[in-house]
């Protein structure tokens, strides 16, 4: 059976509702001190998983759950660095893809455990770069994934960081969403993605996108990550 027929307003509302629940989950993560010194990344990931189940009834995820701290924050999604124990003054990011009533969220946020001003500046720069990328997308009706990726790299450089990811986002939708893999580059915001981002998907519906910002400083061995819906919902500053 195919995907149930829903109009675009319903689809957008479902994606926004999924993201709102992800916002609620990550707020609870911060409030409950799950990301704390002495906790392993895998332990923190499992604790977030359990909290998501208890708080919101989430049982499924469409991609691997990620908690990365310290030097591991340099590593992009596709890599699997050794499990690390969170330290007193660490920077940490979490990237979760929960499924809410068959609709995908993809949400990433960065946390700083200590008072290091450079790490705090990195964390605070992430939503600013996200919003600048979103403004670029909004101003260019025919923008391609490759063009937006190149602009994200430039925004990172202008902010004093390096863009750490080989992609800057991807399609999102009802689970399982339109297939995204290395052989289908137009499903990503990435070099070589030369089709217009504003286009119908394979079923003729509006394509919706996640924007990812991964900023790193390789000399200092730190990175940060921020992601949410690109074309729907509030700005990063408002979310």
Per-position DSSP letters for 158-180, written without gaps between them: HTTSEE--S-SEEEE-BSS-S--
pTM greater than 0.85 (yes/no) = yes
Q: What is the pLDDT of residue 3?
A: 47
What CATH number does the domain located at 8-229 have?
Answer: 3.90.230.10
Separation in Å, CA 29 to CA 23, 62, 85, 152, 208: 10, 20, 17, 28, 27
Q: What is the pLDDT of residue 211?
A: 96
Q: What is the pLDDT of residue 178?
A: 47
What is the number of helices (H) and of strands (E) in the chain? 4, 9
Show the low-confidence residues of the chain (pLDDT under 70).
1-6, 58-64, 98-104, 174-183
Q: Quick one: which of 49, 34, 37, 50 has its CA closest to 85?
A: 37
Q: What is the pLDDT of residue 213?
A: 98
Q: What is the pLDDT of residue 183?
A: 52
Q: What is the pLDDT of residue 181?
A: 45
| Residue 89: CB atoms within 10 Å | 13
Could you tell me the residue ranges of all domains in the chain? 8-229
Q: What is the pLDDT of residue 77?
A: 79
Share of the chain above pLDDT 90, in %: 57
């Amino acid at each position: 059976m195919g995907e149930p027929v829903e109009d675009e307003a319903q689809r957008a509302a479902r994606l926004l509702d999924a993201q709102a629940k992800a916002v609620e989950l990550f707020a609870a993560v911060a409030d409950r001190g799950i990301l704390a010194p002495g906790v392993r990344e895998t332990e923190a990931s499992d604790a977030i998983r359990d909290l998501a189940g208890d708080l919101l009834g989430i049982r499924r995820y469409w991609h691997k759950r990620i908690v990365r701290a310290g030097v591991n924050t340099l590593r992009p999604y596709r890599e699997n660095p050794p499990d690390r124990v969170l330290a007193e003054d660490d920077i940490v990011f979490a990237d979760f893809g929960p499924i809410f009533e068959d609709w995908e969220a993809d949400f990433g946020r960065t946390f700083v455990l200590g008072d290091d001003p450079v790490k705090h500046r990195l964390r605070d720069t992430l939503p600013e770069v996200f919003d600048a990328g979103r403004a670029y997308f909004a101003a260019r009706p025919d923008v391609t994934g490759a063009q937006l990726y190149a602009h994200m790299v430039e925004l990172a450089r202008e902010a004093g960081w390096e863009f750490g990811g080989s992609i800057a986002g991807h399609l999102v939708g009802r689970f399982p969403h339109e297939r995204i893999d290395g052989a289908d580059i137009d499903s990503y915001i990435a070099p070589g993605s030369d089709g217009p981002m504003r286009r119908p998907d394979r079923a003729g519906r509006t394509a919706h996108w996640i924007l990812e910002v991964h900023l790193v400083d390789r000399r200092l061995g730190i990175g940060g990550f921020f992601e949410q819906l690109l074309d729907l919902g509030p700005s990063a500053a408002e979310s």
